[in-house]
A and B are shown apart, each in its own frame.
Chain A
Amino acid sequence: MPEPATPEPVISMRAGTATLGARPVLRGVDLTVHRGEVVALLGANGSGKSTAVRSVIGQVPLTGGTVELFGTPLRRFRRWARVGYVPQRTTAAGGVPATIREVVSSGRLSRTGLRPPGKADRAAVDRAIALVGLADRAGDSVDALSGGQHQRVLIARALAAEPELLIMDEPMAGVDLASQEILASTLREQVAAGTTVLLVLHELGPLEPLIDRAVVLRDGCVMHDGPPPEAVGQHALPGHDHVHPHAAMEPVRTGLLT
């Protein structure tokens, strides 16, 4: 529990448990992220890191424990404009063509709700697109983008609401080096402006210098909570070994190709 004098943490999960079917995915996870911190959630496939972030934003129901966002219990949390979410996706496209601006604009709905967007909203959308370096392509269809550019669109969509907290699920998956550098510099600007970040990563990669703290999960339990591991890459993490407990249930991704 934090001291009453210190500001409340932005994210506070206590003893979180969750199951997928009958299998426990989270087995009492404590996760606290303070204002201005950049926290990486690391771990092998099936360790529960994705489930952990998705339960923080209410997309996976917890079977036990509590989650608070900005000091408000998740069930009563309504101010979603304070949260920017980048889900784990390989594409920003849907079944119908849409431009980058159209997709990014939907991120602004957490502020506009049912009212039509005003001048300030459109400016925020343009700013978000410029932040990820796609300003000259704002009117292009997202169908014509590369994998890395898709990720940049998804991040711009999260930034359109000008959030205080960014939650990103594997933003670097399938992203080419050039886009990784752009994403890292975008994130650096956000962090410099005071944004709090929680991100799921497979390996630290180019984001390593930004990360204040790493939380390593293994089989739904926190194995490490502290400074990011020295060696780069998940193979050096304490939570990673190649004796995979769920090998029979899901394909093992080695991380070599991602």
Chain B
Amino acid sequence: MEFLSPPFMQRALIAAVLVGITAPAIGIYLVQRRQALMGDGIGHIAMTGVGLGFLMSANPVWMATLVAVAGSVVMELIRWYGRTRGDIALAMLFYGGMAGGVMLINLSDTGSNANLTSYLFGSLSTVSEEDVTTIVVLAALVILVTVGLRRQLFAVSQDEEFARVTGLPVRVLNLLVAVTAAVTVTVAMRVVGLLLVSALMVVPVAAAQQIAKSFKVTFVLSVVIGTAVTLAGTVTSYYQDVPPGATIVLLAIAAFVALTALAAPLARRRARVQQPDPAECTLEVPGARPGADDVRV
């Protein structure tokens, strides 16, 4: 438990746990509505916020939050109105955000390439006390939304048209998902880095759904997986001097592979235990859920 003594590690571990909880908690709704790559887009946009923070000598985490939230709202507006060329508009937003960030950091006096790398791929030693406060506040917000409104967000992400006919404020809920995803990106930025944030939103969910039958179990399991890999990755990174973001993401993918390997025998055992209506020939349609993610945002 030697890794607990340095103050920077304590801060990094607090941040890691919160990232492990929040990223899959909002990511599950993005996966559910087949917008798995939305977090990646927001990560690119947040780069400009980091750059602005350096240039204006403001807190980069808060600036990234502001810019990412604004970007996610624009993305949601594009989804409403710009049906036809929405993908092109989004590409402009993503790459413009990334290029803007690199440019702004280079223009500022305090920013350097080392700084940039720490935001892109995450870094343990750079989580400041101020960052921890910010991360705790933002993570609380994300948990409040994703857990408190789980029934409503489930309905909207499962079938948007049906949700509108139940009278739910679908536009408000969609905006809330987008803004919450943006906030999560900035929460996770310090630990896993902007380029790998999206992985932590998607991979634990993908791993959990290999063995889960319900949304509830998928949610809980993906948060457990998320927390386990962020903690393990952070500690590994402390001892082995490897980048934490990459370690965390590789561990998450390992969890996915392990659970996928576990899923097939588990499903066979379940089928043996249940033995549904042996007298009747029930023919099921396999793979009713379309496999590939739709990259439209």
How far apart are the CA atoms of A238 and B123 in the complex, in Å?
71
Q: Are B218 and A106 in contact (CB under 8 A)?
A: no
Q: Verify if A61 is at the interface (C-beta below 8 Å from B).
A: no
Tell me the minimal C-beta distance from A51 to chain B in angstroms: 13
Of B162, B215, B293, which is within 8 A of A97 by CB? B215
Q: Verify if A48 is at the interface (C-beta below 8 Å from B).
A: no
Kindly report which residue of chain A lies nearest to residue B36, judged by CB atoms: A95
Q: Are A95 and B159 in contact (CB under 8 A)?
A: no
Q: Which of A102, A112, A139, A150 has the most CB of B within 10 A?
A: A102
Q: Are B215 and A146 in contact (CB under 8 A)?
A: no
Q: Are B34 and A95 in contact (CB under 8 A)?
A: yes
Q: Are B283 and A146 in contact (CB under 8 A)?
A: yes
Kindly report which residue of chain B lies nearest to residue A102, judged by CB atoms: B215
Interface residues of A in 62-120 (CB under 8 A from B): 78-81, 83, 85, 87, 89, 91-99, 102-103, 105-107, 109-110, 112-114, 116-117
Q: Are A85 and B162 in contact (CB under 8 A)?
A: yes
Of A105, A144, A161, which is within 8 A of B151 by CB? A105
Which residues of chain A come closer than 8 Å to B209, judged between CB atoms? 96-97
How far apart are the CA atoms of A114 and B168 in the complex, in Å?
9
Of B32, B164, B166, B214, which is within 8 A of A107 by CB? B166
Which residues of chain B come closer than 8 Å to A211, judged between CB atoms? none
How far apart are the CA atoms of A59 and B289 in the complex, in Å?
25
Q: Are A99 and B164 in contact (CB under 8 A)?
A: no
Q: Verify if A173 is at the interface (C-beta below 8 Å from B).
A: no
Q: Are A143 and B152 in contact (CB under 8 A)?
A: no
Q: Verify if A141 is at the interface (C-beta below 8 Å from B).
A: yes
Q: Which of B28, B34, B36, B159 has the most CB of A within 10 A?
A: B159
Interface residues of A in 134-159 (CB under 8 A from B): 139-147, 150, 157
Kindly report which residue of chain B lies nearest to residue A101, judged by CB atoms: B214
How many interface contacts (CB-CB < 8 Å) are there between A and B? 119
Q: Verify if B158 is at the interface (C-beta below 8 Å from A).
A: yes
Of A87, A117, A139, which is within 8 A of B161 by CB? A87
Q: Are A145 and B215 in contact (CB under 8 A)?
A: no
Q: Are A94 and B159 in contact (CB under 8 A)?
A: yes
Of B28, B152, B218, which is within 8 A of A109 by CB? B152
Given the known interface contacts A106-B163, A109-B168, the answer about A94 and B157 at a Cβ–Cβ threshold of 8 Å is yes
Which residues of chain B come closer than 8 Å to A78, judged between CB atoms? 167
Kindly report which residue of chain A lies nearest to residue B154, judged by CB atoms: A106
Given the known interface contacts A59-B165, A109-B166, the answer about A94 and B288 at a Cβ–Cβ threshold of 8 Å is no
Which residues of chain B come closer than 8 Å to A85, judged between CB atoms? 162, 165
Binary flags per residue of A43-59, CB closer than 8 Å to B gives 1, else 0: 00000000000000111
Q: Are B151 and A106 in contact (CB under 8 A)?
A: yes
Question: Which positions in B face A, CB cutoff 8 Å?
Answer: 28, 31-34, 36, 149, 151-152, 154-155, 157-159, 161-168, 205, 209, 212-218, 282-285, 287-290, 293
Q: Which 10 A-B pairs have the closest CB atoms?
A: A80-B167, A106-B155, A110-B166, A141-B213, A85-B165, A96-B32, A94-B158, A99-B214, A98-B215, A93-B289
Q: List 30 A-B contacts (CB under 8 A).
A: A59-B164, A59-B165, A80-B166, A85-B162, A87-B162, A92-B159, A94-B158, A95-B31, A96-B218, A97-B209, A97-B212, A97-B218, A98-B158, A99-B213, A99-B214, A102-B215, A106-B155, A106-B158, A106-B159, A106-B166, A107-B162, A107-B166, A109-B166, A110-B167, A112-B151, A116-B151, A142-B288, A144-B284, A145-B284, A146-B282
